[in-house]
Structure 1
Amino acid sequence: MTTTTTYEPHMVSVAEAARRLGLSRWTIRQYVDDGLLPAYRIGPRSNAPMRIRVDDIESLLRPVVELAESTTRRDEDVSGPDWQ
Structure 2
Amino acid sequence: MAKAASSLVFPIIFLVMFALVEQNMGCMAVLGSCGVITDCSGTCKTKFGQDASGDCDRDGGVVTCVCGYSCPSPHKLHM
Larger gyration radius, structure 1 or structure 2: 1
Higher strand share: 2
Higher helix share: 2
TM-score (norm 1): 0.25
